[in-house]
Amino acid sequence: MLCSRRHRPLRFLVFGLLAGSLALAACGGSATDSETPAPTASDAPATVAAASPTAEPTTAAETPTPESTPEATESPTEAPATGTAAAEVLAPTFAAWEQVESLRMKMTMPGSDASGETLQMVMEMVRPDRMRVSMETAEGTFEMIIIGDVTYMNLGGTWTELPGPQDLSTYGALSPDEPIDEVSAPDVTVVQSGTETIDGVTCTVWDLTIPDEEAGTMTGRIWVGADDNLPRRMVFETPEGPMTVEYSGYNEDITIEPPI
């Protein structure tokens, strides 16, 4: 389902999904998080008090002002003048996406540390309300199955049915729709880059410019099937490294059933 919500870096959505499920399994991680703001608040007055008696920083503060001006000039440069609204150019893709009944998606993203390792998450979706997620973590294989209002989670080899109806947004609003929603926003622009073949499918390649409120302007690329207008691959350039989304298995017979 396409929507117009403002962008958040997709990588954080993935970690939000994993962190949310771990918190539910542990049943008590929120108390630790609530203690963090307290020391932060106490440190703030000390910083202000140290800064107020110093008169010279006022002059130094004026220096960064001209430096920020060139940055504003560079932002429009990243969105080429020939760029066209993705919502217009890729309208056939968004329309074709809405007609998909089942699919597979694989996401490859940078790890959370400087080790250079990548994380990979595999998803299967059967509309209107079934999805299976699998991801390798330090604790083992993390799996989640959502069927209507019922969610099952497997972390450590044991399946558990979570109490009450669960909304996917609880785990970071991550779904195969998320990258499509990212590109369909009204301020995203595209420029055609050429054609390439992915898994035997001829694709039109589009370069993306995506304004992001938290991460600044993001760039990326989308490969769209020339015959069916469906996305085959998307790459988002993030500060941590490239995130790749690969789609396959469109309208194949995918079965998702309760594990217990």
User: Residue 21 and residue 154: Cα distance in Å, rounded?
Assistant: 9
The fraction of the chain above a pLDDT of 70, given in percent, is 61
Q: Which residue has the tokens 């020391």?
A: 39
The fraction of the chain above a pLDDT of 90, given in percent, is 42
Mean pLDDT of 100-106: 96
Q: What is the rounded average pLDDT for all residues in the chain?
A: 74
Residue 140 sits at φ, ψ, to 5 deg, of 125, -165
User: Residue 117 and residue 119: Cα distance in Å, rounded?
Assistant: 7
Per-residue pLDDT tens digits for 134-182: 987 767 788 999 998 889 999 888 999 987 666 655 553 367 888 999 8
Residue 221 corresponds to which tokens in the numbers above? 């690329």
* DSSP code of residue 101: -
pTM here is: 0.70
Q: Kindly report the CA angle at 61 between 47 and 69, in degrees rounded to 5?
A: 130
Q: Which residue has the tokens 């035997």?
A: 200
Per-residue pLDDT tens digits for 209-240: 998 777 678 899 999 999 999 999 999 998 88
Residues 6+ apart with CB under 8 A from 177: 1, 2
User: Residue 64 and residue 55: Cα distance in Å, rounded?
Assistant: 17
Containing 142, the helix (H) or strand (E) segment is strand 140-147
Residue 38 corresponds to which tokens in the numbers above? 């307290």
Residue 141 · residue 156 · CB < 8 Å: no
Domains of the chain in start order, with CATH, are 10-24+74-248 (2.50.20.20)
pLDDT surpassing 80 at residue 104: yes
Containing 89, the helix (H) or strand (E) segment is helix 86-89
